[in-house]
Structure 1
Amino acid sequence: MTLLLIGLWDTITADGDLRMFKSAQRVNLQNMTHPTRKLWTHDNVITPFRCAEQCKNDESCVSFFYNRDSLICEGHSITLGITNGSTPAVGNRYYVDDNGQGYIGDVCTTNSECYVSNSECRNGACWCAAGYSFWPRSRSCVVNCTTYGTDFTEVLDYFLIQNNEESFLNVSYESCIQSCISVTLYACVTFEYGWQSNECFLQSVTKFDKPDKWYHDTLSRGFGHYQRDCL
C-alpha cells in the first residue's frame, strides 16, 4: 500500500489505494471531549492520520477526537456542532470529515444548511425531522429501522397521545431511556419524557404511524418526544 500523508493540526489529508479523505479541525472542542454518539475508542493510535483512517474505514463515522498526548482516537457518528455536555480533555483535537459540514448534529440557523434528506434545523443544530430515525451506516433519516440502536433524537414540546404501551412515574430521563431499550414484549421506538413531572411513556409507534395523535405542547408542560435511532 502506498500512502501519501499531508497534514497540519488544522487539517488532515490522506491519499492511498485510490482513496482520498480530508478532515478539518473544529476549534469549538479543542481540549474537550463529548460522549454523544461515540462509536468506539482505539488506543495507541500513533498519528492523527491513522485516526482519520480509522474513521474513514467505518461507514458510520463522520468525526473523531485525537489526543496527541495519550494517542487515543474516538470516532463519532455525528458532527458535534454544539458543545453542551462536553468535558475537559487536555490534548484533544476534534476533526470532522469532508461530509460533516451540514451533517446531523452540525450547527445551523436554517433548514437549507442541513443537507441530509428529511433533516431540519432544530434548536440550532441539524437533526432528523420528527418521525424519522437517524441511520448512521447509511447516513440518512429513515421512517423505519431494520434494527434499532441505543441513541435517540429529541423533539421538544411535541407528543403522541393515547398510544402509550407503558407508563412510569417519578423516574429519571436515563431510566426512561433504559426502559425503552430493554423492553422485550414490543419494539419501543419512541418515548416521551416529562421534564417537569418526571413521567415516562413508552411507545411502539411514531408520528407517521399515528399522525392524528401528534400534538404540539402549547401548554408548555415540559415534554420531550424521543425517536430511536437505527443501529
Structure 2
Amino acid sequence: MKIIKVQLNAGLLSWLIDLGWFTWMVISFWDCVTAVDDIRMFKSSRRQNLQNMSLSTRTVFTSHNLTSLRCAEQCINDRTCVSFFYNKKSGLCAGHSITLGITNGSTPAVGNRYYVVEDGEGYIGDACTTTSDCYVTDSECRNGACWCAPGYSFWPSSRSCVANCTEYGYDFTAVMNHYIILNNEEKIENFTFQSCLQSCLSATLYTCVTFEYVWSLGECCLQSITMLDKPDVWTENVIYSSEVVHYQRDCA
C-alpha cells in the first residue's frame, strides 16, 4: 500500500512538474507574442530610418522604465504626439510632435527603435516628394519634408497649420532663402543664431512671430508679422550672396 502511495505521489509530482514546465512555456511564448504585438496593437509602424539612432527635434515628453506597450500608450494618449522612440534595454520612451522623416542631426543610440502612429503618416516633418504626400491642410512639401506653408504656424495640439496662434511656443519652422522686406521690429548686427532666436522669444514690447537670420553676416531681423500679413513684400533671396532663412514661430 505504501509503495502504491509513493508511486502515486511520484507520479503526481512528475505531472505537476510537467504542468509547471508547460505553463512556463505558454507564458514565455505569450510574453514574446505580446511584446511583438504591443506596438502593433496601437496601429503604429516601425521606421528603419532612425534605427539605433536618436533625434531630439520637437520632443514632447521623455519617460523612463516603460514597457513598449506603455510607451505606445503614452504617445497615443498625448494629442501632441505622433511618433516616438523606444529602447527595450533601457525602457526609455521619447515622444515627438512631428514625424521625423528627415534624419539630419541624429546621433547614435544603440537599441533605439522609432515608431510612427497612424496619424503620423504624411504628417508634419514626414519625408515627401510632392505636396500631395502631405495631408495637413495648408502644408506643403519643402526641402524633402512636409511643413506648414509660409505664413502658417504649426499647432501640435490641434495637428494643424494655422494663420494665428492664441499662444506661441518655443519652436520655429524654417523657410530657406526668403524674407519679409522692411518690416522689422528690430535689426541686430553681429549676432549668433541662438542669440537671435532667444531675442525673438524674449521680446516684450511686441509678440515676435517671425525672424530672419543671415548666416554669413550674423544679421538678425525680428518681426511681429508673417508672410500672410504682408504677402506683397514676401521676397525670395536675390540680394544676399549667402543663405538667409526665415523662421516662423509654432503655436504652443
TM-score (norm: length of structure 1): 0.91
Q: Distance in 2 between matches of 1:203 and 1:105?
A: 25
Q: Report matched runs for 1:1-231 at 5 Å.
A: 6=34, 8=36, 12-14=39-41, 21-45=42-66, 47-219=67-239, 220-231=241-252
Give the drift of 1:166: 1.0
Give the drift of 1:218: 2.5
> Partner of 1:28: helix, strand, or coil?
coil
Q: Distance in 1 between matches of 2:65 and 2:44?
A: 20
- Quick check: 214-223 or 26-35, which moved more? 214-223
Q: Distance in 2 between matches of 1:57 and 1:168?
A: 43
Give the drift of 1:32: 0.7
Q: Distance in 1 between matches of 2:247 and 2:115?
A: 28
The amino acid across from 2:45 in the alignment is A
TM-score (norm: length of structure 2): 0.84
Q: Distance in 2 between matches of 1:99 and 1:136?
A: 12
> Partner of 1:12: helix, strand, or coil?
helix
Q: Distance in 1 between matches of 2:214 and 2:68?
A: 42
Q: Deviations over 1:8-52 (max 9, x none)?
A: 28x8233xxxxxx3111111101111011011101111x111101
* Runs of 4+ with >3 A deviation: none
Q: Deviations over 1:138-168 (max 9, x none)?
A: 0000000000000000000110011111122
- Quick check: 220-229 or 52-61, which moved more? 220-229
Q: Which has the larger radius of gyration?
A: 2
Q: Distance in 1 between matches of 2:130 and 2:68?
A: 33
Q: Which has the larger share of strand?
A: 1
The amino acid across from 1:229 in the alignment is D
Q: Distance in 2 between matches of 1:98 and 1:57?
A: 13
Q: Distance in 1 between matches of 2:153 and 2:244?
A: 19
Give the drift of 1:6: 5.0
- Report sequence identity in percent: 63
- Structure 2 residue aligned with 1:18: none
Q: Which runs of 5+ in 1 are unaligned?
A: 15-20
The amino acid across from 1:227 in the alignment is Q
Q: Which has the larger share of helix?
A: 2
Q: Distance in 2 between matches of 1:44 and 1:6?
A: 18
| Number of equivalent positions | 219
